[in-house]
Amino acid sequence: MNRGDSPGLAPWACWPGRSRGRRFAEPAAATRDAHQRDRDRIVHSNAFRRLVYKTQVFVNHEGDLFRTRLTHSLEVAQVARSAARELRLNEDLVEAIALAHDLGHTPFGHAGQDALHACMTPHGGFEHNLQSLRVVDHLEQRYFAFDGLNLSFEAREGILKHCSPRNARRLCAAEPDGPARRFIDGTQPSLEAQLVNLADEIAYCTHDIDDGLRAGLLQVERLEEVPLFAHWHAEARHSRARAGAGATSAQPGRRVVFETLRRLLSALIADVVQATSAAVAAVQPGDVESVRSSPPLVGFTRDQRRAVDALKAFLFSALYRHPQVADTTAQARQVVTDLFEAYVARPSEMPTDFAAAEDTPRAVADYIAGMTDRFALREHHRLTGRRVFVET
């Protein structure tokens, strides 16, 4: 059997032997198929290692147990792989897309992204999904023959999750059949790409509850107002009551939270598998091309979709808009804005590659987007003399 003819994959999955290929042709690897190779290239990239020092919701120094972009990406990969195996989709490809999906994120999470987008608005804007593609296509510099990681079309298709029509037209002008084409044609990406998108949502909904409780910004009593949480919380407490004297007594509150969240996580994954299997069975796509021309097929059941939306609305108002989070957000925006202005005024403050670029604002955006939280703070102090987020 040829490498890439994977008998375990469904006909509608991405078969590595049928990949649309890479931008620069390369001989096949001796021991790995196309999408294993994609995943390995991402794991060895500089941008991947930087994710460990990038904020998800909470700034890195706030505590060692909060999610970072790296642990978030690993959790997305775990969720996506679980569902992919059940659905007979390509696990290596979902892992590659999951590990790469946030490579383009700026330091300081969404606050950093919003600030950089505001700075870049007169120069074409800044979109983090597009930036993730830019990282794997151009900014990583490791090979003699090309810039970027030269990933497969299928990996790049999954990484470019969203794209504005204007940027889609610009990307298509350079690469007519590239991953931006679907935003003009209105078609869908592979099931692997659709699955990672939903796995991202599942991962952050559950882990942000955990981080929010740990930070003391959310309370279990308030979370009880959210039916999805209340349901699994009741289940966890009943299970503890049934265990009676046999229940482990240390940290009972935390254990109930973990038991709640692991039930919630399993239930969401099971729901996606069920709803997606039904949608695929109804459409019967013959191959991945037929997936691309079908409506979206990966999703929750209708009731679960509503329940997840209610949870997201709660997290949005109670956690992401919490005054304490908003305070760090305002400071983070200031850091990114100050850095942008400083480098545009004096490009020579950046490393030579960036300083010499023809398009200074874009080079500044690329440089800032690649920074970890702590490197951005050090540069900010060096360039402005001010200290922000001083550890206490």
The C-alpha atoms of residue 42 and residue 132 are separated, in whole angstroms, by 11
Under the binding rule (CB under 5 A), the answer on residue 211 touching Mg ion is: no
The residue whose Cβ lies closest to Mg ion is: 200
Within its chain, how far is the Cα of 360 from the centroid?
27
Q: Which residues pair with 306 in a beta bridge?
A: none
- Would you say 80 or 218 has its CB closer to Mg ion? 80
The token pair that represents 162 in the structure block = 């969203």
Q: Which residues fall within 8 angstroms of residue 148, CB to CB, at 6 or more apart?
A: 135, 136, 137, 138, 139, 140, 141
- Would you say 96 or 280 has its CB closer to Mg ion? 96
Stretch 11-30 residues interacting with Mg ion (CB under 5 A): none
The count of other CB atoms within 10 Å of the CB of residue 189 is: 25
Give the range of 176-184, 200-208, 289-297, 318-326 binding Mg ion by CB under 5 A: 200-208
Least separation in angstroms between residue 72's CB and Mg ion is 6
Least separation in angstroms between residue 73's CB and Mg ion is 7
Q: Which residues pair with 59 in a beta bridge?
A: none
Binding footprint of Mg ion, residue count (CB under 5 A) = 2
- Would you say 132 or 150 has its CB closer to Mg ion? 132
- Would you say 143 or 316 has its CB closer to Mg ion? 316
The CA distances from residue 74 to 143, 199, 250, 354, 360, in Å, are 26, 11, 28, 30, 34
Least separation in angstroms between residue 373's CB and Mg ion is 16
Please check whether residue 53 is in contact with residue 229, taking contact to mean a CB–CB distance below 8 angstroms.
no
Stretch 56-115 residues interacting with Mg ion (CB under 5 A): 102
The C-alpha atoms of residue 6 and residue 317 are separated, in whole angstroms, by 45
- Would you say 77 or 228 has its CB closer to Mg ion? 77
Can you tell me which residue has the tokens 């900014």? 139
What is the enclosing helix (H) or strand (E) of 76? Answer: helix 69-87
Question: Which residue in 140, 192, 200, 379 binds Mg ion (CB under 5 A)?
Answer: 200
- Would you say 200 or 271 has its CB closer to Mg ion? 200
Least separation in angstroms between residue 96's CB and Mg ion is 15
What residue ranges bind Mg ion (CB under 5 A)? 102, 200
